[in-house]
Chains A and B, each alone.
Chain A
Amino acid sequence: MSRPGISVTGRRAGTFCLLLIVALLVQATRVQVLRAQRYDDNPANRRAAIARYAQPRGDILVDGRPVTGSRADGRMFRYERTYRDGPVYAAATGYSSQIYGNTLLEGVEDDVLAGTDPRLAVFAPWDAVTRTPQRGGDVVTTLDGAVQQAAYRAMDRKRGAVVAVEPATGRILALVSTPSYDPGSLAGSSAAVRRAWAALQADPLQPMLDRALRQTYPPGSTFKVVTAAAALTAGADPDVPTDSPEPLRLPDTDRELTNEAPGCLDATLRLALARSCNTVYAKLGVDLGLDRMVAAAEAFGFNDPRLRVPVAVSRSVFDTRMDPARLALSSIGQYDTRATPLQMAMVAAGIANGGRIMAPRLVDRLTRADGTAVAIESERTYRQAVDPRVAAELRSMMEDVVTEGTGTRAQIPGAVVGGKTGTAQNGVANRGTPYAWFIGYAGREGAAPRVAVAVVVEDSDARRADISGGGLAAPIARDVMQAVLRVR
C-alpha cells in the first residue's frame, strides 16, 4: 500500500481548512439572518431604544402649533422630549420618558410619534434597504389653545378637572386636570428625572393622575339630568306637579332624605331641577324603576369600558343591581354611581346636540413630518341618548337652572346657557370634602350650542359652605364657555 504524497494530503488539509471557513459562513447566516429577529427583540439589546431616541420625536399640535419639542443632549439616547406649557396640556399629552415610558397621547400615538408606524412610510422597501429611519409623525389634536388656557387658569390652585367638548362634532376643546405637573421633568434619563418621578409619586395630591379621563367621582345632583331624561323619555311632563313628599323616606329603611332648598314638596320636574330637589328625583328614579334608569344611564355612556378618545377612558358606573333605597340614592348621583368628568361632559353635549352624542375625540388627524395626513379621525355618532323632543325639553329645563336656579353664576351675557350644578357627598358617612360639579352648555341666541362642559372641583382648602356646584364650579364653567364663544 503506497502512501499518498504531500500533494494529496496537502490538498485534503486545504479542503478541511476551507470547510472551516464555510462553517463560519453558515453560522454567520444563522446569526445575522435566521435568528436576527430574536436577537433584535431581546430586551437587553439597547439598539431599539437607541434608534428610537436617535431622531427628534414627532410633535403634538394644538391650533397648528406644537406644544412639544425635542432636545438633543448628545448622550447615547440622543433626543429627549420638551414641552411648551407642559402643565397646561399634561392631561392630554401625558409624558414621554426615556425611563418611564409614554402615557396618554404620547403613549397611544407612540408609533406615529416615534416614526415606527408603517403608515408613515412613503416607499418602504427602499427605506428598508437603505435603513433610512422614518421621521416621527405629528399628532394634530382637537384642543383649542385659548380654551385650554382659560380652563387651566380658571382652575387656579383648585384640585379637579375640566372637560370642554364641541357638541356637534365631539371635538374635545379643553382637557384639564389639576394640580398638574411638568411632563418635561420626566423626559430624559438623568438622576434629576428619577428624583422628579419619586417626588410626583409621593405627592398625596397625585399630580400625574389624569382626573378628566381616569378619575371617577360621584356625580351628585348633575346626574338628575339623566334621571330627568329617563322620565321624559317615559312620557313625563316637566311642568306637572309631582307627588313628592318632603322629607322622603327611603324605601324599606328609616332613613329620611332632605333638601338644601325650600319649595320641593310636590314640585314639578322643571322646578325640582332648578332647585336641585333630592326628594323629587330620588322618588322619580324609584318610580321609573331600575331597568329604565340603567337604560337611560347607559344611553349616555355609563358602564362602557371601551370608550377611547383615543386615550382609554375609565369606566363610569351606574349599578345594575340595586334595591329601591339604593336606586333612590343612585338617581341623585350618590351611592355607588360614579362618572368621569368626560362622561358628564358627554351628557351635557348629547343634550345640547339634540340627543345625539358625538364620539368624543382628542385627535383630529395624524400626519407625516411634512404635514401630509396618514389618518383622519372622522366625526362619528357615539349614541343617540334621547330623542330630539326630550333633548329640547331638557335644554329648556337646564336653561332655567342657569337663569333662575342654582346655576346663576354660569350666566354669560348675550348667550344661552343651560346647566346643572351638583354637590356630591364623599367619603364614609359623608365625612370627606364634597365635590362641586357643574355641567352645561352655551351658545349664541338662536343658534345651536357651541360648547358643552363638565367641571369638578375637589378642593379641601375651600370653606365647606362654599363647596357647592353653583358657587365653586359654575364660574369656572362660565369662563371656559365664554372662551369658546369669544374665539370661535
Chain B
Amino acid sequence: MAPPPAVRVPTGRTTELLLLAAAVGVSVLGYVAVGAAIDGGVPAGAGGYGAALGVLALLAHATVRWRAPYADPLLLPIALLLNGIGLVVIYRLDRATPGDQAAPTQLLWSATGVALFVTVLLAVRDHRVLRRYAWISALAALVLLVLPVFFPAVYGAHIWITVGSFSIQPGEFAKVLLAVFFAAYLAAFRDALALTGRRIWRWQLPRGRVLGPVLVVWAVFVGVLVLETDLGTSLLFFGLFVILLYVATARSGWIAIGLLLSAAAAVAVGLLEPHVHGRVEDWLHPTASIDAGRGAGQLAQSLFAFAAGGLLGTGLGRGHSILIGFAAKSDFVLATVGEELGLAGLTALLLLYAVLVGRGFKTGIALRDPFGRLLAIGLAGIVALQVFVVAGGVLDLIPLTGMTMPFLAQGGSSVVTNWVMVALLVRMSDAARRPAVPR
C-alpha cells in the first residue's frame, strides 16, 4: 500500500500578495482620480505615493510569509486597502484646505504603523505569552485613560495629551491593552464567573462576590464619561467588556444588569453634562440650528454631504464635504466617502470592515486556547463597535462622539493602534490555521 500523497496545505500567501497588489492599485487609482478631477491630470505625487504604499505592502507581506505563513490572507490586504483609501480621502481634503496638509503626516504614521505591525509579528511568536502581561496591561490602560484629564480639554473632551505641537490620543492605545486584560481575566475566571447565584424569574443572577469586576468596569466607564466627557470611548470599553463577558460565560443575566446601569448613567450624563447633552440634542434635531437661524451645524453638514452623494456619489474630488469644517479629515472623514463615492462606495467600505470583523471572529472561534479566542473576538469586536459608534454618529443613527474611523481617519494614534491590532489578529490566525501535524 502506497503512502498517502503529501498534502500541500494551502497557506493563502499568493492570494494575499495578489490582493495586496489590488489594494495598492485601487489606492493609486483613487489618488489619480482626485488629481484628474481637480487638476485635470495625474497628480505629481502619484508615483511616489504608489511606491510608498507598495513598499509597505511588500514589507508587511514578507514578514507574514516569514513569520506567520498560515495567517488569514484577507486581514493584511483589507487593512492596507482601508489605510490607502484613507490616505486618498485625506489627500483629497488637503486639496480643499491649502493651509493644512495632513496626508504626508498620515503616510508617515501609516509607515510607523506597518513598522509596528512587523515588530509585533517578529516579537510576539506566540500570542499566549501576552497572558503574562494582563495586569500590567490593565494598569497601563488605566494610566493612559486618566492622563488626559490633567491636560486641557480640546473641543470639549479630555482625550488628548498635548506636548508642544505633538499630540496623542492615549485612549486609542488603551483599547488594545484593555482587550488583552479582559481576555486574560475572563479566560482565567470564566468558570467561576459562570456559577449562578440567585434566580429571579428567568434571570440567572451572579453571586455578589463575582459581581465585583462588573461593578469596577462600570465605575471606570462612568469615570471616563464624567472626567473626560467622552461618550465614545466609554461606550467602546463597556461594549467590549459586555461582549467578552457574554462570550466567556454565556450568561446574559448580568449583562442585562450592566446594560441597565450603563444606560442609566448615560442618560444621567446626557441630561446633566452640557457637552454630552449638546451632542444628544444634535442627534435628535440635527437641523435645529438652521431653523433657529444659526446656519448648519457639523452634523447637518455631514448629512448634507451624505445626501449629496446619493447612490453613486459625485466622484472623488468633486464633492463639497469640506463645508463640514473642523474635523472633516478625522471624525467626519466618512462623510467625504459618502459624498464622493456615494452609497455604493460607502457600502463597499462598510463591507470591508464587516469582512475584517468577520475574519477576526472566525479566528477566535477556530483557536483552541480560551485567551486567544477571547482576544481575537475582543479585537474584532473593538473594530465593529468603533465603526458603529463613528459611522452611526456621522449618519445621525446615534449621538455623535469624538472617535476615529479605523484606518480611514486622520490621526496617528489611531492608525498605529489599528496596525498593532491587525498584527495580533494575523499572529492568532496563523496559529488557528496552522496544520496540527508539522510537515
Contact = CB atoms under 8 A, between A and B. Distances in A.
B300 A17 contact: no
Interface string B188-203: 0000001000000000
Contacts of A6: 247-248, 364-365, 370, 373-374, 377
B396 A13 contact: no
B296 interface: yes
A28 B395 contact: yes
Interface stretch (A42-50, A235-243, A326-334, A452-460): A42-50
B346 interface: yes
B247 A9 contact: yes
Contacts of A31: 303, 306-307, 338, 395-396
A288 interface: no
Interface residues of A, number: 41
B323 to A, nearest CB: 6
A3 B381 CA distance: 22
A428 interface: no
Given A33-B343, A50-B320, A28 B314 contact: no
Given A6-B365, A13-B361, A39 B250 contact: no
B247 A13 contact: yes
Contacts of B127: none
Contact of A32 (B287, B296, B309): B309
Interface in A11-37: 11-14, 16-18, 20-21, 23-25, 27-29, 31-33, 35-37
Contact of B307 (A16, A32, A43): A32
B304 A27 contact: no
A46 B296 CA distance: 10
A17 B395 contact: no
Interface in B307-361: 307-312, 314-315, 318, 320, 323, 338, 342-343, 346-347, 350-351, 353-354, 357-358, 361
A13 to B, nearest CB: 5
Interface string A87-131: 000000000000000000000000000000000000000000101
Nearest to A5: B250
A27 to B, nearest CB: 4
Given A23-B392, A44-B296, A9 B304 contact: no
Interface in B379-436: 380-381, 384-385, 387-388, 391-392, 395-397
B284 interface: no
Contact of B346 (A18, A23, A32, A37): A32
A7 interface: yes
Contacts of A3: 194, 249-250
A230 to B, nearest CB: 56
Interface in B259-313: 287, 290, 295-296, 300, 303-304, 306-312
A9 B190 CA distance: 13
Interface residue tally on B, bucketed by range:
35 or more
B397 A23 contact: yes
B243 interface: yes
A10 interface: yes
A36 B248 contact: no
B109 interface: no
Contact of B397 (A7, A24, A131): A24
Given A21-B350, A25-B347, A27-B397, A131 B247 contact: no
B246 interface: yes
Contacts of A17: 243, 357, 361, 380-381, 384-385
A13 B243 contact: yes
B306 A21 contact: no
B385 A20 contact: yes
Interface of A is mostly: helix
A28 B347 contact: yes
B377 to A, nearest CB: 5
A21 B314 contact: no
Nearest to B382: A17
B392 A27 contact: yes
Given A14-B380, A24-B397, A7 B365 contact: yes
A33 B311 contact: yes
Contact of B387 (A12, A24, A45, A50): A24
Contacts of B318: 131
A35 B307 contact: yes
A446 interface: no
A465 interface: no
B357 A42 contact: no
Given A21-B387, A21-B388, A27-B396, A14 B290 contact: no
A193 B370 CA distance: 72
A185 B194 CA distance: 79
Contacts of B385: 17, 20
A155 B309 CA distance: 53
A4 interface: yes
Nearest to B297: A44
Contact of A131 (B194, B250, B314, B387): B314
A38 B384 CA distance: 30
A46 B290 CA distance: 12
A8 interface: yes
A42 B350 CA distance: 27
A477 B357 CA distance: 83
A32 B380 contact: no
A36 B385 CA distance: 26
A23 B388 contact: yes
A46 B243 CA distance: 43
A28 to B, nearest CB: 5
Contacts of B357: 14, 17-18, 21
Query: Which 6 A-B residue pairings sit nearest by Cβ, starting from the closest?
Result: A39-B307, A14-B361, A17-B384, A44-B296, A36-B307, A20-B388
5 contacts: A8-B250, A18-B354, A39-B306, A45-B296, A131-B318
Interface of B: 194, 243, 246-250, 287, 290, 295-296, 300, 303-304, 306-312, 314-315, 318, 320, 323, 338, 342-343, 346-347, 350-351, 353-354, 357-358, 361-362, 364-365, 370, 373-374, 377, 380-381, 384-385, 387-388, 391-392, 395-397
Given A9-B248, A17-B361, 5 more contacts: A10-B377, A21-B384, A24-B387, A28-B338, A45-B296
